[in-house]
Amino acid sequence: MLGGFFVKAGLDYLHPDNAHILYGMLLDCKEQLILNPKIIDKWKIKGQMPLRKNA
């Protein structure tokens, strides 16, 4: 099942035929977080803006 956040991000077109791309993207995010822990602050701000609009 595809999560709602992938739909909100406009990435749902990759599923199901290219689900491996979504998985690879998540693994890359994990790697970036290890290399640059402060990136989480950027992600937090970016993720809060659309959620506030939909509230």
Number of domains in the chain: 1
Look at phi and psi of residue 10 and say left if phi exceeds 0, alpha if psi is from -120 to 50, else beta: left
1-53 per-position pLDDT tens digit: 567 888 888 998 988 899 899 999 999 999 999 999 999 999 999 988 876 76
Residues 23 and 1: their CA atoms lie apart, in Å, by 13
Cβ 33 vs Cβ 40: under 8 Å:
yes
Residues 25 and 14: their CA atoms lie apart, in Å, by 11
pLDDT at 42: 94
Alpha-helix runs per DSSP H in 1-55: 4-8, 19-35, 39-54
pTM across the whole model = 0.70
Domain hosting 47: range is 4-54
pLDDT at 27: 97
